[in-house]
Amino acid sequence: MTRLPAYLMLLAAVPLLLSCGGGPVVWTVAVPGDPGVVAVGMAKAGPNIAVVGTKVGPNSGPLAMVVQMFDDKGRVRWQQEYTGGETGGAGGVALNRRGQAFVAGRSRVNGREMCVVAKYRIDGNLLWHRALAVGDECRATGVALAEKGVLVCGSASANEEKQMLVVLLDENGQTVWTRNYRFGAVSHAAGIAADGRGGIVVGCQAGSAENPDILVAKLGREGDTLWTRRYDSGGEDRCGGVAFDVFGNVLVTGTALQNGSPKCVVLEYHPDGELIRRAAYGERTVAEGRAITTTPEGDIFVAGAVYDGEQKHMLAFQYVPNATSVWERNYRHGNMNTTGASVIVDGDVFVLGTVEADPGPVMVLARLYRPVPSR
């Protein structure tokens, strides 16, 4: 079994430590809850930024899905709390050009956990919502806009086995197709992306419960499996997010956990599944990869968390193979435990994370200044 340092290219980077309100931090906004909200994901289209999080109870249990819309200056447009069952939690959000938000997550109804999908108008009013019952229990952990509708990924459990779940809904919330995928005793999706030409890629955690791997699945328009690729560092591996680049290559970020020490990894695959490269963030840096995104110009950005002793801080960096330091921000918030969750880019870089505070976690959205190099 090949160990991580033996075949991973290293990304060298010089961290730039920021404080709240510092020059490179354009602005930050917090989404408090009672007692708290954990960040899950975000999306941007035009001047609109949609964020979703899970409202948690005193014992950190999920209570409801929180949806909030900002403009690109950090001003709140609207906020909604989805409470379609006894308890619930967020899985992801996608935003179309009209400012309509598609959110996905889970909701427990009559003691059964279901996958839920909801569509909100630009003013925050609910257009429709659907509860999907697949297997004994199911939940959504990611959402992406497709050619004609919306894709949702997650997991479905049956007979003590967890399978990866992918569902395509049309614009009105009607189910077009549903697919279950078995990639081991435990198979649950972490993120999904579509390339606008019918291509779909899903990143998931798959294998045994004790030692899962990162698995990447390329799907066709009808959900048929075109190819799968597995990443095994020798320890526990967790998928953070997936994306397509401008050439149709598949990008994946995640975390390889070896001997209790996490390492942020980035994987690249050709559209036909051929491995282009594997890379690790920093030679000795302890970090996690949580999300990855690309720009129309071809730039690639990763968000996650970097460790400083026992604390974690929000991390965002531009991914360029063999680069030393192109662009990087390490956002600290006092002495609190800050973790990265998602990233989007529009000139500046917008990062969503969670600050572990007292009495409960706070979801924080930060806009980080990025000088755009001349091309």
pLDDT in the model for residue 207 = 85
Residues 6 or more apart whose CB falls under 8 angstroms from that of 63 comprise 54, 55, 56, 57, 87, 88, 89
pLDDT in the model for residue 10 = 54
- CA 283, CA 281: separation in Å to the nearest integer? 7
What does the domain layout of the chain look like in residue ranges? 1-31+238-375
Structure tokens, 33? 């809850």
Buried b (16+ CB within 10 A) or exposed e, 178-195: bbbbebbebbbbbbbbbb
Q: Which residue has tokens 């354009």? A: 26
Q: Which residue has tokens 């200044």? A: 369
pLDDT in the model for residue 248 = 95
Three-state SS sequence of 312-347: EEEEEEECCCCCCCCCEEEECCCCCEEEEEEEEEEC
The helices-and-strands tally (H runs, E runs) of the chain is: 1, 30
Structure tokens, 164? 């990866």
- CA 169, CA 159: separation in Å to the nearest integer? 26
337: exposed, middle or buried (Cβ count in 10 Å: 0-12, 13-18, 19+): middle
pLDDT along the chain (375 residues), means of 10: 41 35 72 84 95 88 92 93 88 95 94 94 96 92 94 90 94 95 88 92 90 94 96 93 96 90 95 95 88 93 90 91 80 79 90 88 92 62
Rounded to an integer, what is the distance from CA 142 to the centroid of its chain?
7
pTM for the structure as a whole: 0.91
Beta bridge partners of 159: none
Residues 6 or more apart whose CB falls under 8 angstroms from that of 131 comprise 84, 85, 107, 109, 114, 115, 116
Residues 6 or more apart whose CB falls under 8 angstroms from that of 307 comprise 262, 286, 287, 313
Q: Which residue has tokens 């609207």? A: 78
pLDDT in the model for residue 292 = 96
